[in-house]
């Protein structure tokens, strides 16, 4: 039986197989693959067709969320299926020996900012985006909108503070930045009070300019674009 979901034909079965869509979580893997120059094949998971519930896709991520990755040549030469963007980025950076410091203390700092993204940035910014863009506007969301606006601003302040005197979250550019920056970029699409307040966080603004200027970031954002 094939290790790949049959819904998406595979041309290069020896390459990394990415299943994604160009959302803030989805672009992270396209960006890291472009940064590392690893050979890969990308498959777009179309939410409008509920492809994240495809039974083959669920064998990679039973939580029906993108991004997901198959490495046909994983540890011991066996195929490896990976869900959760942080686990995918960590796996690829470790495999390539780049974008993750070798010194254990620094590597742990990178992990800290990655967990901060997965536990705080993604859920809070995502809910802000949901209530700004997607929730039915004929209902009263005043409390939720205030709650997630306040949280998004609080988190931006944490990032702004961390970036004082630094170009990147931990010394050199790393997978921590590839976790966090796409979510700050999401406010261009979400709009609203947080987008308007971004200029109050000058370190964050300068950081996003640095991030967006990277050619691999521009290329990675186009992988699995809508
Ligand atoms: N913690 C997960 C979050 C993934 C996630 O929320 N993905 C969204 C798109 S940004 C998704 O697939 N949503 C589809 C659904 O919920 O059905 C990660 O970092 O991979």
Position 145 pLDDT exceeds 90 = yes
The pLDDT tens digits for 3-54 are: 999 999 999 999 999 999 999 999 999 999 999 999 999 999 999 999 999 9
Please give the pLDDT value at position 226.
80
Q: What does the pLDDT read at residue 137?
A: 84
Verify that 20 and 82 share a domain, yes or no: yes
Pocket probe for ligand 1: among 44, 45, 65, 90, the residue whose CB has the most ligand atoms within 8 Å is: 65
Shared-domain flag, residues 89 and 122: no
pLDDT, tens digit, 9 for 90 and up, residues 151-192: 999 999 999 999 999 999 999 999 999 999 999 999 999 999
In the prediction, which pLDDT does 122 show? Answer: 98
CA 147 to chain centre: 23
Express each pLDDT in 42-70 by its tens digit: 999 999 999 999 999 999 999 999 999 99
Q: Which residues pair with 81 in a beta bridge?
A: 70
Answer yes or no: do 140 and 195 share one domain. yes
d(CA 221, CA 142): 32
Residues 131 and 190 in one domain: yes
Q: Is pLDDT at 1 greater than 80 in this prediction?
A: no
Asked if residue 8 belongs to a domain, the reply is no
Q: Are residues 108 and 182 in the same domain?
A: yes
DSSP states of 100-142: S-SSHHHHHHHHHHHHHIIIIIHHHHHHHHIIIIIS-TTS--H
52 alpha carbon – ligand 1 mean position (Å): 9
Report pLDDT for 4. 97
Name the residue with the closest Cα to ligand 1, atom 11: 65
- The verdict on residue 3 lying in a domain is no
Query: Residue 203 belongs to what domain range?
Result: 104-214
> Ligand 1 centre from 83 Cα, in Å?
10
Output the ligand 1 site: residues, CB below 6 A. Answer: 23-26, 47, 52, 64-67, 84-86, 118, 122
Task: Identify the CATH number of the domain in which residue 167 sits.
Answer: 1.20.1050.10
pLDDT band at 80 (very low <50, low <70, confident <90, very high): very high
């Amino acid at each position: 039986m094939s290790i790949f979901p049959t819904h998406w034909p595979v041309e290069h079965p020896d390459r990394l197989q990415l299943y994604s869509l160009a959302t803030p979580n989805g672009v992270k893997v396209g960006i890291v693959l472009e940064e590392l120059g690893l050979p890969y094949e990308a498959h777009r998971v179309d939410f409008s067709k509920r492809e994240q519930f495809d039974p083959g896709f669920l064998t990679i991520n039973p939580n029906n969320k993108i991004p997901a990755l198959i490495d046909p040549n994983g540890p011991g030469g066996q195929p490896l299926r990976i869900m959760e963007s942080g686990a995918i980025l960590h796996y690829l950076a470790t495999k390539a020996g780049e974008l993750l410091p070798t010194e254990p203390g620094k590597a742990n700092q990178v992990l800290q900012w990655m967990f901060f993204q997965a536990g705080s940035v993604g859920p809070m910014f995502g809910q802000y985006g949901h209530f700004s863009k997607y929730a039915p506007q004929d209902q009263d969301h005043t409390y939720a909108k205030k709650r997630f606006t306040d949280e998004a601003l609080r988190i931006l302040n944490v990032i702004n503070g961390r970036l004082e005197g630094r170009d990147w979250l931990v010394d050199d550019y790393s997978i921590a930045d590839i976790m966090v920056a796409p979510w700050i970029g999401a406010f261009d699409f979400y709009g609203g009070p947080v987008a308007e307040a971004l200029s109050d966080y000058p370190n964050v603004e300068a950081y996003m300019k640095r991030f967006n200027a990277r050619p691999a970031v521009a290329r990675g954002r186009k992988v699995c674009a809508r």
